[in-house]
Amino acid sequence: MRRVSTDMSNNDMQYYLRRQEERLNDAQNRIAGQKRILIPRDDPLAASHAVRYDSYLAYLERYEKNTLYARDHYNEVDSYLQQANDIMQRVRELSVAGATGTYTAEDQKYIAVEMNELLKELVSLSNATGSDGTRLFAGDRAFTEPFRIVQGTVEGGGGSPEMTPLVVRVEYRGAGSSRRAEISGQTYGDLDIGGGEAFWAERMQIFSGVDGSDYRAPDAGAFFIDGIEIPVSAGDTLHAIVAKINDSAAPVKAYVDADSGGLNLEGTNAHLIRMEDRAGSATLQDLGIITMNSDPAAPNWHPAARVSGGSLFDMVIRVRDALFRGDQEFVGSQGIAGLDLAMGNLQSRMALNGSRQERVETTWQRLNTEIPNVAAELAREISVDMASAATDLGMMDFAHRAALQTAAKIIPPTLLDFLR
């Protein structure tokens, strides 16, 4: 049996008043935060939906930021490629003028000097740095200078101060694989066009000087061609390796040389073929394609391998040197043909970059439609109806005030009341 005392009514009144104050406080918090669900137990089903919506919305917002970064990156790349194409147009005009036979040998040297300066500007463009401080054409080696100028003397190019120094070659320091950005769920866009792709001219060919007729892979391993991993099983023959290369996504064609019995590789488009053995494996080294190199940015061709296929800079240097020699026939035939190859590849890379721009723009527009829809679904689950909440708050506040007034009349006076 419950004991009846003067404290009972006081305790009960305080208990129910505190509960009323708690409900009043929750209502005020919902209005202040504009959220219907403060803790999961308020509405467990809606809370579970809200968590999923909120998580998906965070993904979409991250994808939107990635697409904006990719779009800005593509715009910068397009600007530099366009400038390089304009310079190549000027180089070709000079080449045509130098091949007509209407200029003297001295005039041709002055044309070559201008071409040398244009060559330096082309190298500067290939080493361009983007707004985020990374090299635009360096791939995942974002802070590595892709190309380096080596200066020296050229036959027919000396004798006067304005003709020195001259660019004798442009060394490719290497760019890693292309960086990628996730622009939607499990969908990635390639960000970079490496310097070995944009600023190349001819299809590369690598001819091994090692006879691989009796080759057998001693252990399982793998090697990489242009970032594509190609596995090797223990006991694989040269023909098996050739088949694996041709079945891969690497942009090269492999075959066995009928005379030397060595591995030959040819690019399917104009680009620098990048190759390396996976750690612990030495397949390409054993086949005489590459060798160990202490400088990972330097070319690593095997000393016995024959490599052909020049860069855009090689084509310009060949024409410039021919102008210094006064070899108009070379300029008008092989020289201009090489420039056309370089310009064709450059323009194809510009088209590739443009297609990536269109794709990321379409993705960005889709995300900007999807994000508000998901945000609306999330708001429908968790947002409070302000009109209804304000009405409920007013009613609860009125009830609370009435309860306080009633409690003041019901609770009997205590000794403290008489001591005031």
E strands, 139-204, in order: 147-152, 166-172, 180-184, 187-190
Q: Are residues 222 and 170 in the same domain?
A: no
pLDDT at 160: 46
- 76, 124: one domain: yes
**Among residues of the chain, what percentage have pLDDT more than 90?**
51
Q: Do 189 and 227 belong to one domain?
A: no
In whole angstroms, give the CA distance from residue 364 to residue 225: 32
- The pair of structure tokens assigned to 90 is 């000027």
Q: Are 248 and 230 in contact (CB under 8 A)?
A: yes
74: in domain: yes
For 169, phi then psi, to 5°, come to -165, 160
Based on the number of CB atoms within 10 Å of its own CB, is 4 exposed (0-12), middle (13-18) or buried (19 or more)? exposed
- Same domain, yes or no: 62 and 192: yes
pLDDT at 5: 58
Same domain for 58 and 189, yes or no, is: yes
- The DSSP H or E segment spanning 94 is helix 44-99
Low-confidence ranges of the chain (pLDDT < 50): 1, 159-161, 294
Q: Is residue 123 included in any domain, yes or no? A: yes
Query: Which alpha helices (DSSP H) does 268-420 contain, by range?
Result: 283-286, 312-325, 328-330, 336-382, 386-410, 415-419
Same domain, 183 and 223: no
Q: Which pLDDT score, from 0 to 100, does residue 253 have? A: 96
What's the gap between Cα 142 and its chain centre? 10
Q: Is there a domain that residue 349 lies in?
A: yes
58: containing domain: 52-196+310-371
The reported pLDDT for the residue numbered 367 is 92
User: Residue 109 is which amino acid?
Assistant: K
Tally of domains within the chain: 2
* 308 close to 204: Cβ distance less than 8 angstroms: yes
- According to the model, what pLDDT value does residue 43 have? 66
Q: What is the greatest pairwise CA distance in the chain? A: 125
Res 86: pLDDT: 97
Asked if 339 and 316 touch (Cβ cutoff 8 Å), the reply is: yes
Distance in angstroms (rounded) separating the CA atoms of residues 22 and 325: 95
